[in-house]
Structure 1
Amino acid sequence: MEWVVWALRLVLGILTAPVHLLGVLGLWAPLCQRYFPPCMRWLSARYNEEMAGTKRALFGGLPGRARTPGRLTLLELGCGSGANFAFFPAGTAVTCVDPNPGFERLVRRSLEAHPHVRGLAFLRASAERLPRVPDASVDAVVCTLVLCSVSSLGDVLREVRRVLRTGGAFYFLEHVAAEPNTWTAFWQQVLAPTWRLIFDGCDLTRETWKALERAGFSELQLQRIQAPVSWKIIRPHIVGFAVK
């Protein structure tokens, strides 16, 4: 089976050779930085429609994490266009983190559309290193469709634990590697290299739950689901929260 995966990857690589060439020349990353935000805004709106019930159930526990009732301090990793703001409780004060500065304008638009959420700051940073966020300073950390593209899951989860106050929680909703020996897993393997380039580092085959299990949280509530999304290749998801 491995040779079939290799052969199909080769065919796909030939078909998408111009994109791979731009990547080798270092020209694809600047294009992604410019065009990825508007594309993700459209994709996030579609994802919200399909995953609204899951997000409402997941983020329904956020109010209980506030140190002061009605005043939740939240850090969102990979905030993108601010697609999650609609699901945050009233009184949320959010610090947004994203390495792509092109999202800042979209975040500000989303804040205007959701006045129940107050924006504290937009930090252009990677989730692996957040020096401007103090220790034990937030009630909750949120990320959705972010851990698939970070360079080091271990570093991200260490930063999450550092910035959370004791009793605070990390809420996640992520697509992950499919169950082995399934057609979805097969096509994830085939598409992985080209998908990673086109979608700004997104890894279809990441086993994110393993990193969460060894991250040292005091409690981990994690569920594997088949998300009701249009693209079958990313239907395998994990959803849940981890408590510091």
Structure 2
Amino acid sequence: MAPHIVFFQICVAIIALPMHILVVLGLWDPIPKKFLPYLLAKMTDSYNKYMGDHKKELFSSLSDFKGPSGELKVLDLGCGTGANFRFYPSGCKVLCVDPNPNFKTYLSKSLAENDHVHFQDFLVAPGENMPQVASGSMDVVVCTLVLCSVDNIDGILAEIHRVLRPGGAFFFLEHVTEDHSSWRYFFQLILDPTWKHLVDGCRLTKETWKNLEQSLFSEVKYKHVLAPLKWNPARCHIFGHALK
């Protein structure tokens, strides 16, 4: 990595020195796991306001993937605070999975506001290993703003592929790295080593579309879009779906 990038990374790390000391001491990890659910609960309405049109477009075809019984079984992977519930079709059955048990408390508000969805259960599990979910049992898997925090993206995509029935679909919306010639990419590089600790493992420079293109899915469709918040270092997004 270029010396000037490393220099600015060190400058950012110095500003956040107390946090990095706690990381080295092994005392930091529980803090974002407890604070992030609270923060996201406060930010959900704003994010859905700015990205609502993209989410509506993304989820407009969910009902096309109903199973043979006529029901739509949705696995909301990395469900967080239930930010996607309002975009789901009426009557769908939603199983929530998240590795952070602290999100469960915040789901009740989303469920109360979205009684058109039929909540099934909340499972605490990493997306790379969901033994509680049977193979081929889900019509749709939804994953939004999750893969940025996953160390093994290929592993989680393989697990998503496993739990989907033949003909099922994976719907995704993720922030990704900026164009490498842009100033925004420069700021992503200098922020990334500190950002991952602030936001519970989130990385700013992932090229997630490459993992999707090389996955087990038979067809992958996506588009790049920019979130309207220009100050946001995670402004560049992709959204689309993949078929099993």
Do both proteins adopt the same fold according to a TM-score greater than 0.5, normalized to the shorter chain? yes
Name whichever of 141-150 and 222-231 sits farther off. Answer: 222-231
Aligned to 2:117: 117
**Secondary structure at the residue paired with 1:94?**
strand
Measured after TM superposition, the shift of residue 68 of structure 1 is: 4.6
Aligned to 1:96: 96
Q: Give unmatched runs, 5+ long, in structure 2.
A: none
Return the letter of the residue paired with 2:119. Answer: G
Measured after TM superposition, the shift of residue 227 of structure 1 is: 2.1
Q: CA RMSD for the aligned pairs?
A: 1.3
Aligned to 1:36: 36
What TM-score, normalized to structure 2? 0.97
Quote the Cα distance in structure 1 between the aligned partners of 2:85 and 2:229: 20
Q: What do the CA deviations read for 1:148-168 (whole angstroms, capped 9, x no partner)?
A: 001200110000100001111
Aligned to 1:2: 2
**Secondary structure at the residue paired with 2:22?**
helix
Aligned to 1:131: 131
Aligned to 1:182: 182
Are residues 230 and 95 of structure 1, via their aligned partners in 2, closer, same or farther at CA, if it must alter by over 3 Å?
farther
Measured after TM superposition, the shift of residue 225 of structure 1 is: 1.4
* Number of residues of Structure 1 aligned to a counterpart in Structure 2: 244
Quote the Cα distance in structure 2 between the aligned partners of 1:193 and 1:2: 15
| 2:142 is equivalent to residue 142 of structure 1 | yes
**% identity of equivalent residues:** 44
Aligned to 2:224: 224
Aligned to 1:78: 78
Quote the Cα distance in structure 2 between the aligned partners of 1:87 and 1:187: 32
What TM-score, normalized to structure 1? 0.97
**Secondary structure at the residue paired with 1:185?**
helix
Quote the Cα distance in structure 2 between the aligned partners of 1:68 and 1:152: 32
Quote the Cα distance in structure 2 between the aligned partners of 1:210 and 1:123: 29
Quote the Cα distance in structure 2 between the aligned partners of 1:142 and 1:216: 17
Measured after TM superposition, the shift of residue 84 of structure 1 is: 0.5
Q: What do the CA deviations read for 1:81-138 (whole angstroms, capped 9, x no partner)?
A: 0010000000111110111111101112211211101111101111110000000000
**Secondary structure at the residue paired with 1:234?**
coil
